[in-house]
Amino acid sequence: MEDGAVHLKVIAEKQPRLENVEAYVPGEELNGLRGISGLAVVEVAGRDSVAAILRAVGGGVKDVLPTIVYTGTEYGDWSQLDGNINFLKSKLAERGAVLHEPVTVGDPRLWAALCGQYAGEITRRYGPCGFCAGCHLYMHLCRVPLALATGAKTIISGERESHEGRVKLNQTRVALDAYSKVIALADIELSLPIRHVELNAEIEAMVGPDWREDDRQLKCVLSRNYERVDGHIACDLDRYNDYLNEFLVPAGKRLLETLIDGGTDYADVVKSVIKEIERDPI
């Protein structure tokens, strides 16, 4: 595991870690990963991400490369994620699978392009609904360079369409389909093993009853920003779907092409997509 002081420095400074994988994964380690058939790059965050990995391993995945992605809005005790990785290591060992050394990735410039810099324009066109889906796509995009560098053909994530009836805009059916469409452009499958798990009891059966929802994970300053004070969704779902199909998928695909080419002009890429959208302002 990366030295703790170095890891905290990367997190605190939000150092760009995307396009040049050799700069943050040692060459010997990277070469070793490239030789593993069936390697899966995985999300490590909270309970659902761990449940997704355990289900994937139960389905035959044997080598798991954990990733931690930093965003522009998270806060809390980052050591909780180290604890989750150690929990995973012991669970995977029991199942005959290998958890490789975790890799931390992210780039504030990419997050800003999708979620921050053009928030006013996106809100004007589609209403207050785009921040969370943009952030989730950002996290999936951040794992693509590592997957390409190691030859991994699968990225595993813990999104669910329903959380016992509670709607999360970043995990609706249309949103999850949008993420998959973008990532598929790199010939990588976005695998969602618990996508159709609705009951929290099923998640607890995988990770243990003592791990409650939202425990042992980071918080987000924009959590539930799309809800009214009564808990209902504040934005129009038709306009939200327009946001996904008209903006997020095209922008995501162009950003992915930029990542693959080693570029970093993310803001210009997103600006070009916005200019091409033919839609009357609200």
How many structural domains comprise the chain? 1
Q: Do the domain assignments include residue 25?
A: no
Q: Is residue 44 part of a domain?
A: yes
The mean pLDDT value for 202-220 works out to 91
Tens-digit pLDDT profile for residues 235-272 = 888 999 999 999 999 999 999 999 999 999 999 999 99
- Give the CATH number, domain containing residue 237: 3.40.50.620
Structural domain includes residue 83: yes
Residue 24 has pLDDT above 70, yes or no: yes
Tokens of 53: 């990995």
> Residue 234 pLDDT more than 70?
yes
Predicted confidence band of residue 4 (pLDDT cuts 50, 70, 90): low
Average pLDDT over residues 103-119: 95
- Segment 165-189 shows an average pLDDT of 94
The pLDDT, as a whole number, for residue 131 is 84
Task: Kindly tell me if the per-residue pLDDT of 10 is higher than 80.
Answer: yes
Q: Which residue has the higher pLDDT, 251 or 216?
A: 251
Judging by beta carbons within 10 Å of its beta carbon (0-12, 13-18, 19+), is residue 11 exposed, middle or buried? middle
51-65, 103-117, 215-229, 246-260, range with the lowest pLDDT: 215-229
In a domain, 265, yes or no: yes
**pLDDT on residue 30:** 95
| Distance separating alpha carbons of residues 84 and 67, to the nearest angstrom | 12
Among the listed residues 187, 194, 174, 189, the one whose alpha carbon sits nearest the alpha carbon of residue 237: 174
Residue 8 maps to a domain:
no
Q: Residue 129 — pLDDT band, cuts 50, 70, 90?
A: confident
Classify the phi-psi angles of 14: left when phi > 0, otherwise alpha if psi is within -120 to 50, otherwise beta. Answer: left
Taking residues 54-75, what's their average pLDDT? 94
- Please state, rounded to an integer, the average pLDDT across all residues of the chain: 92
Whether 5 is covered by a domain: the verdict is: no
In angstroms, rounded to a whole number, what is the distance separating the alpha carbons of residues 189 and 181? 9
Q: Is residue 1 part of a domain?
A: no
Digit-coded pLDDT (tens) for 34-55: 999 999 999 999 999 999 999 9
Residue with tokens 């998640």: 203
**pLDDT > 90: percent of the chain:** 74
Q: What is the pLDDT of residue 7?
A: 73
Per-residue confidence (pLDDT) for residue 165, from 0 to 100: 82
pLDDT of residue 233: 82
The model scores a pTM over 0.75: yes
Q: Is residue 24 part of a domain?
A: no
Kindly tell me if the per-residue pLDDT of 282 is higher than 50: no
User: What pLDDT score does 280 carry?
Assistant: 52
Flag the least confident range among 28-32, 181-185, 233-237, 272-276.
233-237
Range of the domain at 70: 39-276
